[in-house]
Structure 1
């Protein structure tokens, strides 16, 4: 279960920052975005630098591509986040994002929600593709060993059915008494 959650976390790390950056700069930013030094730094660090960190994760690590099964789960997570935004409106009296206000947006609101879901699907597919290309490039240029070499006892990460090199350690059955001095 922990491994599956880690894989899902990785899927969000390589996709959500790009989605956040696109949504913020396309729908939410305005003249006040760079109003003063603090606002500029805050908006850049929350809505731009995260994409840089995601790109570092995509291109400079040896993480495998997220499985396709993670895609619908990330879309469900976005739906849950949308629900939290409306809970915030009901409990706090404001919309977290102005484009979620149905009174102001009308029919465009549905287009925004569907557009964000479609954007997540596209971003997931593109990021997954980039990671697959990075892996192929790394194997071709001998930056990592291919799965067949790793299965023959070589070093490197394998995408085959090789068990992890974890050592099984038994826990003690009876605790030892500590002598008091």
Structure 2
């Protein structure tokens, strides 16, 4: 059975449109689902950076503890065949919780490395479906900084199979936005 990782990133929780879309995507693609509530992930800090850039064999117990959550998040990501990202748009970009997850999983030596030819992704090939919702920012428009950012970050760590399912215009007509997203979900392969 395939393994699916669901990233819940909205501070509105189950009331968010991105959550509703992500649940429908999960119902379509299935798999053994691991749910990660990203709203509990803290921001990285100087201690975390110091630990991440210390060679593993030289890390203190405190540094290992500082990286424990990052290690767990990276393991979840690497184990997944499919990743579903709930992505509400806040102020034209990704939510804070999604940014915190990204910062925790983008780690040199773990999900990418630098080579003479440039950066190389190490996260492994997998399918990503972004459950995008916005009050009025169309996905892919000049005002959408969320989906290009997500695609750039995922590409940097080696993940290039990214599909966006969008509920746009939620502030104008949520039912119509959800119907458009449902039509996109219907075309997804299981």
TM-score by length of 1: 0.27
Structure whose CA Rg is larger? 1
Which one has a larger percent strand, Structure 1 or Structure 2?
A: 2
